[in-house]
Structure 1
Amino acid sequence: MNESSIVSARELVKTFPSESKGAAETRAIDGLNMQIQAGQLTALVGPDGAGKSTFLRLIAGLYPPTSGELKVLGFDVTEDPQRIQDRISYMPQRFGLYEDLSIQENLELYADLHGVPQEIRQQRFERLLAITDLTQFKQRLAGNLSGGMKQKLGLACTLVRSPELLLLDEPSAGVDPLSRRDLWSIIEQLVAEEQLSVIISTAYLDEAERCSQVYVMYEGQILKQGSPDQLKQQVNGLTWQVTAPAGMKARSLQAHLLKNSEYIIDAVPKGDSVHFMTTPQHPELPDSQLPENCVAQAREADLEDAFMLILHERQNQEHQKAYSTDYRLSEPQQSELTEDEVVIQVQDLVRKFGGFTAVANTSFEVKRGEIFGLLGPNGAGKTTTFRMLCGLLAASSGTLEVAGMNLRRARAEARAKIGYVSQKFALYSNLSVVENLEFFGGAYGLHGKKLKQQIEKASKQYDLKANAKSGNLPGGYKQRLSMAAALLHEPEIVFLDEPTSGIDPLARRSFWYTIGELADQGITIIITTHFMEEAEYCDRIAIQDAGKMLALGSPRQVRERAGPDHAQDMNSAFIGIVEQARQQQTQQKQPPQEQRS
């Protein structure tokens, strides 16, 4: 092991026995070789099932290697797992907070578990509370915190002792852009001030771009490694953008490019444009493959472009289709339904929980075939609004009509026209794919030949293996199964609650291609998401905070609403709009003389 290496892996293998009789064992880590340097921020990226979480658990000494060698801090994980665990801190994807304890009590409990001496606790707690901005909330119960605050408390509990190595498994999954920014400020501050070594797995490629080294994992192996700049060099001259012509949606232009050009590896909507990438063999796209009046312009590459190219090249080696086209995209269909038909009408909607107002006088409407995004920070009231729209929660006051029915009077009838995909996997993990589809199809009133036809259609469309155990599916495939179950009864409206939280860019691409096709068929989509780039797929978005509507309009209108300093992308626009509203609210609460000073 190199003296400056904090983790050294050589021909590392980790297998898990199959739960099915006669089936081959699962090879989660497959001959992996890696040297991670001390004092750096290192990122692990890759599609679902690449082995990122397994590798972090091996480093933490929670799994023994099947074969090969793994040394952490100079110790062999097979021989000295406890000596490693005494020197590292590990924050898994679902960090276990005690929700009936306060922030302060959670910190005390984890300090007890880690044997932190009493004489250094107070100073350590004060520092952690200060950098996580939780000092004023330390007596609040963990169960009453927003998602972003829970993640910051989880990080603070992980760091109650000062480790030599910090392992973070997707720490920002499911938190809003403001909380994500704060979380990264904390991590970067720790690296700079304490020379802390950090290994982080993430589904956000913009986060990986902050790291010194990035390792791209795939099926338990390392495909590429290097600094973000080194990886981006691979896509020099391959990245382009094109503006959608008048009357054409960006997602329709995306579908056109992917369907009609074999030279395009990847394409994603960005505002009124589409960013796309061409193959190294044909770097310049012929104008004949662009829609009329469209001209491609070169753009600067980002790490996500490099990631997509690396995965595309690997799949070509395996004689597979490029991931970006393995969903059978269809040209946008002109629905026979009236485009201006309103299917959701919300007027002065209010929801109170005791003396707390979660949603305050919210009004908007959604048209048939629209993709409508509900955005907001953790705790902003969007999930409450979402649950009222689905008929899962009654409104305190106001008018709410879905599919022509008043939800305060005909909630059950409206639900029959609704499909719902929850944020967390809500199907039965111990049942197979087909057993889940049979159960939910029956719950929606399908049976006999019709149910069988719908299951066969869904299994083919979403590439689902009928006998696979649902709980063992990778995150992206769990979401495909959830989507298939929600669409079996052919609903008019589909509600998606953070459907892509924690899944990788490949799975997100595939998921959104399907969403666009559904909307083009006249199905209305209501979605919440913390990936702000996904808001660009929406026809219109609403941003909420503290139960109030801050912005409503097309992605372009919302970016313009944020002002010139924040209009470059949706992530920046979101942060700008929320911070401006919070600043105005703070000023309104201050006495007049304090505002003047």
Structure 2
Amino acid sequence: MNNENVVIAENLYKYFIVKPGNKKVEALTNINIEIPVGKLTALIGPDGAGKTTFMRLVCGLMMPSEGNITVLGINTKENPQEIQNRISYMPQRFGLYEDLSIQENLNLYADLYGVPKEIRNERFERLLKMTGLEDFTERQTGKLSGGMKQKLGLICTLVRSPELLLLDEPTVGVDPLSRRELWEILQKLVKEENITVLVNTAYMDEAELCHKVIVIHKSTILATGTPKELSLIGDDRCFKIQPPSGMPSRILQTKLLDDKQNIIDAVPEGDEVRFITYLDEAFNNIKEIDSNLQIQKVDSTLEDGFMILLREYESKHTKTEKKKFPIKFSDKFEISKQVDIEVKNLVRKFGDFTAVSNTSFQVYKGEIFGLLGPNGAGKTTTFRMLCGLLPSTSGFLSVAGVNLRNSRTYARTNIGYVAQKFSLYSNLTVEENLMFFGGVYGLKGDKLKNRIEEVKKQFDLIGQETKTSGELPGGFKQRLSMAVALLHEPKILFLDEPTSGIDPLARRTFWRQITALAAGGTTIIITTHFLEEAEYCDRIMIQDQGKMLIIGTPKEVRESAGENIKTMNQAFIEIVEQNRSKE
């Protein structure tokens, strides 16, 4: 093994033959990278870039089409089993046994990995203590929160001490508190056990914690370097601006992004909008929005560098139609006072366990309302009651003027719903799913045909019609789920962690679509673990352990968390931890 690198890829290609027509599709193209020993390395890139394919090649689960990949000094073509004996791999869907307890899962994986009996107890004790699961060993895995399941998946992967640990999006669907804890565990493993870690992540703040970052897009490596080196790509090109009084930051963001000749990226950040320019001429166009707007230069980040790399690649290699998001709004934006959702003293119990405790709030027409909380806080339970998918134990709940206790089926005709996990028919094509669900919603004939064409254009699904839905990349699955949910033009759209595992580029497009829908009068209720996305919301509510902790605008929530709180991520953690410290 090379003393400095655990993995060395040389002129690596991987392609798949797709039938009919025996078309060759390249998943990886001329990859030359090295993974340093005893360090954390991040692999970042949009959906379908080739990240998971690369990880499977490292594991010896796939063989290169051309070139070589050496892992721990072993060519994967020569002895993949020897490599697999010395590494651990946690795929996106790690196979925990839901009907077994935490301890039983650990015992099972120790048996599978051949961990000697005499070292198991000490290893288990250390891993359980490190992850905070030591008091839950007898709990059934199916009853764990999402964060606890991810921690259990990680320690099951680590029941033996590997020389290389591969993690494929280990924090998808995990709340900020649990994400922070997982990364503290990884950093501790690298420091104390000298484990080399390669992680595929959609979170730029996680990539910033790594020693090395590899950016991959459309099967090609765009750049490698330290987070600092990649952030410098955006040096002298990053700025922030305060929206005019009465204008939500998401509306100013949309105005900026419409200037595609000058603006690379724009995103709400606090009460401001952060943006990246191609040229200084952008400032002239910005002043046309409001001559009093003050532009301030800011330091560039890894995410800025990442977005610049992607945009520049796209401008060189593709001729894409500039997508328009028709948004109608007044510059003095005001939320309608028409109540679309009314919740009073809402309670949901499962036996002796109270999942939602005495919650009350309202949501207005055309509002983007964020529902936030740690895993197990009661968000999804609240969500399912609002959608009419789960009856409440007590309390009053009205959606689009319909009392859900009496008319859940009728209320659902006004609702569109995108589930946390892909819930369409994976064995049907994109077109077949649209046809089927359009029929379920009561659409038929020309009305159904026209709506299918409209949503395909709206969500960039043209050309994807014959593809099997289950084989689509995550970003395309999300687009299809949105298209299906909006076929019947619902008054209210429920989105349960719709951007989970989606890269920053896809999330920008998604939020422009949401902004356009809300501006057109659609009411949006959304849960998310990307806390920066809360800045797109008009108001947010934070729940924990079934209780509502706070409700208000993003600014009000940040201010309530403390004077030195700058980001929603910091505010969220502070509010939840303050509440738990009182109990």
TM-based fold match above 0.5: yes
Cα deviation code 1:413-466 (max 9, x no counterpart): 110000000111111111111111010010001000000000011111111122
Please name the residue that 2:572 is paired with: 574
For the Cα contact (< 8 Å) 1:261–1:289, is it kept in 2? no
Question: Which residue among 389, 394, 403 is the counterpart of 1:406?
Answer: 403
Please name the residue that 2:429 is paired with: 432
**Are 2:540 and 1:544 aligned?**
no
**Are 2:4 and 1:4 aligned?**
yes
For the Cα contact (< 8 Å) 1:216–1:222, is it kept in 2? yes
User: What is the CA-CA distance between 1:330 and the residue it aligns to?
Assistant: 2.8
Matched letter for residue 567 of structure 2: D
Please name the residue that 2:347 is paired with: 350
- Supply the distance in 2 between the matched residues of 1:2 and 1:116 (Cα, whole angstroms): 27
Q: Aligned ranges for residues 34-53 of structure 1 at < 5 Å? A: 34-53=33-52
Cα deviation code 1:79-99 (max 9, x no counterpart): 110100010011111111111
Structure 2 counterpart SS, 1:161:
coil
Q: 1:257–1:194: structure 2 CA closer, same or farther, 3 Å change rule?
A: same
Matched letter for residue 430 of structure 1: N
Question: Which residue among 329, 333, 351 is the counterpart of 2:329?
Answer: 333
Please name the residue that 2:169 is paired with: 170
Q: 1:199–1:185: structure 2 CA closer, same or farther, 3 Å change rule?
A: same
User: What is the CA-CA distance between 1:372 and the residue it aligns to?
Assistant: 0.4
- Supply the distance in 2 between the matched residues of 1:439 and 1:334 (Cα, whole angstroms): 38
* Most deviating of 534-543 and 462-471: 462-471
Q: 1:443–1:225: structure 2 CA closer, same or farther, 3 Å change rule?
A: same
Please name the residue that 1:534 is paired with: 533
Please name the residue that 1:591 is paired with: none
Please name the residue that 1:92 is paired with: 91
Please name the residue that 1:208 is paired with: 207
Matched letter for residue 283 of structure 2: L
Q: 1:443–1:351: structure 2 CA closer, same or farther, 3 Å change rule?
A: same
TM-score by length of 2: 0.97
Structure 2 counterpart SS, 1:361:
strand
- Supply the distance in 2 between the matched residues of 1:156 and 1:460 (Cα, whole angstroms): 44
Cα deviation code 1:281-324 (max 9, x no counterpart): 44863353543321110111111000000001111111435xxx
Question: Which residue among 459, 474, 482 is the counterpart of 2:456?
Answer: 459
User: What is the CA-CA distance between 1:525 and the residue it aligns to?
Assistant: 0.3
Matched letter for residue 212 of structure 1: H
Matched letter for residue 569 of structure 2: N
- Supply the distance in 1 between the matched residues of 2:112 and 2:437 (Cα, whole angstroms): 43
For the Cα contact (< 8 Å) 2:269–2:532, is it kept in 1? yes
For the Cα contact (< 8 Å) 2:246–2:334, is it kept in 1? no
Matched letter for residue 14 of structure 1: K
Please name the residue that 2:520 is paired with: 521
Matched letter for residue 362 of structure 1: T
For the Cα contact (< 8 Å) 1:238–1:284, is it kept in 2? no
Cα deviation code 1:549-570 (max 9, x no counterpart): 00100000011111124x2100
Q: Aligned ranges for residues 558-573 of structure 1 at < 5 Å? A: 558-565=557-564, 567-573=565-571
**Are 2:362 and 1:365 aligned?**
yes
- Supply the distance in 1 between the matched residues of 2:183 and 2:439 (Cα, whole angstroms): 45
For the Cα contact (< 8 Å) 2:86–2:162, is it kept in 1? yes
Q: CA RMSD in A?
A: 1.6
Q: 1:338–1:549: structure 2 CA closer, same or farther, 3 Å change rule?
A: closer
Q: 1:241–1:265: structure 2 CA closer, same or farther, 3 Å change rule?
A: same
Q: Aligned ranges for residues 36-75 of structure 1 at < 5 Å? A: 36-75=35-74
Structure 2 counterpart SS, 1:328:
coil
Question: Which residue among 389, 392, 396 is the counterpart of 1:395?
Answer: 392
Please name the residue that 1:285 is paired with: 283
Please name the residue that 1:253 is paired with: 252
Please name the residue that 1:28 is paired with: 27
Please name the residue that 2:100 is paired with: 101
Matched letter for residue 90 of structure 1: Y
Please name the residue that 1:231 is paired with: 230
- Supply the distance in 2 between the matched residues of 1:332 and 1:55 (Cα, whole angstroms): 44
Structure 2 counterpart SS, 1:174:
coil
In structure 1, list runs of 5 or more residues that go unmatched.
586-597
- Supply the distance in 2 between the matched residues of 1:209 and 1:96 (Cα, whole angstroms): 28
User: What is the CA-CA distance between 1:412 and the residue it aligns to?
Assistant: 0.9
Structure 2 counterpart SS, 1:416:
helix
Structure 1 counterpart SS, 2:283:
coil
- Supply the distance in 1 between the matched residues of 2:411 and 2:66 (Cα, whole angstroms): 56
For the Cα contact (< 8 Å) 1:341–1:368, is it kept in 2? yes
Please name the residue that 2:508 is paired with: 509
User: What is the CA-CA distance between 1:394 and the residue it aligns to?
Assistant: 0.2
For the Cα contact (< 8 Å) 1:337–1:522, is it kept in 2? no
- Supply the distance in 2 between the matched residues of 1:320 and 1:93 (Cα, whole angstroms): 32
Structure 2 counterpart SS, 1:431:
coil
- Supply the distance in 2 between the matched residues of 1:331 and 1:388 (Cα, whole angstroms): 31
Structure 1 counterpart SS, 2:417:
strand
Cα deviation code 1:303-355 (max 9, x no counterpart): 1000000001111111435xxx9431234435999811000000000000011
Please name the residue that 2:14 is paired with: 14
- Supply the distance in 2 between the matched residues of 1:395 and 1:220 (Cα, whole angstroms): 48
- Supply the distance in 1 between the matched residues of 2:135 and 2:219 (Cα, whole angstroms): 43
- Supply the distance in 1 between the matched residues of 2:256 and 2:175 (Cα, whole angstroms): 31
* Most deviating of 329-338 and 155-164: 329-338
Matched letter for residue 461 of structure 1: Q
Matched letter for residue 328 of structure 1: K
Matched letter for residue 449 of structure 2: K
Please name the residue that 1:240 is paired with: 239
- Supply the distance in 2 between the matched residues of 1:283 and 1:90 (Cα, whole angstroms): 48
Count of matched residue positions in the alignment of Structure 1 and Structure 2: 579
Cα deviation code 1:108-138 (max 9, x no counterpart): 1101000101111111001000100000111
Structure 2 counterpart SS, 1:274:
strand
For the Cα contact (< 8 Å) 1:244–1:250, is it kept in 2? yes
Q: 1:338–1:283: structure 2 CA closer, same or farther, 3 Å change rule?
A: closer
- Supply the distance in 1 between the matched residues of 2:502 and 2:53 (Cα, whole angstroms): 16
Matched letter for residue 437 of structure 2: F
User: What is the CA-CA distance between 1:469 and the residue it aligns to?
Assistant: 1.9
For the Cα contact (< 8 Å) 1:334–1:521, is it kept in 2? no
For the Cα contact (< 8 Å) 2:327–2:520, is it kept in 1? no
Percent of aligned pairs sharing the same letter: 58
Please name the residue that 1:594 is paired with: none
- Supply the distance in 2 between the matched residues of 1:320 and 1:7 (Cα, whole angstroms): 35
- Supply the distance in 1 between the matched residues of 2:384 and 2:555 (Cα, whole angstroms): 27
- Supply the distance in 1 between the matched residues of 2:24 and 2:429 (Cα, whole angstroms): 18
For the Cα contact (< 8 Å) 2:478–2:499, is it kept in 1? yes
Cα deviation code 1:244-265 (max 9, x no counterpart): 1111111110111111462110
**Are 2:366 and 1:386 aligned?**
no
Matched letter for residue 185 of structure 2: I
For the Cα contact (< 8 Å) 2:367–2:538, is it kept in 1? yes
Structure 2 counterpart SS, 1:110:
helix
- Supply the distance in 2 between the matched residues of 1:416 and 1:204 (Cα, whole angstroms): 35
- Supply the distance in 1 between the matched residues of 2:330 and 2:430 (Cα, whole angstroms): 33
For the Cα contact (< 8 Å) 1:519–1:525, is it kept in 2? yes
- Supply the distance in 2 between the matched residues of 1:258 and 1:198 (Cα, whole angstroms): 36
Structure 2 counterpart SS, 1:536:
helix
Runs of 4+ in 1 over 4 A off after TM superposition: 334-338
Matched letter for residue 431 of structure 2: V
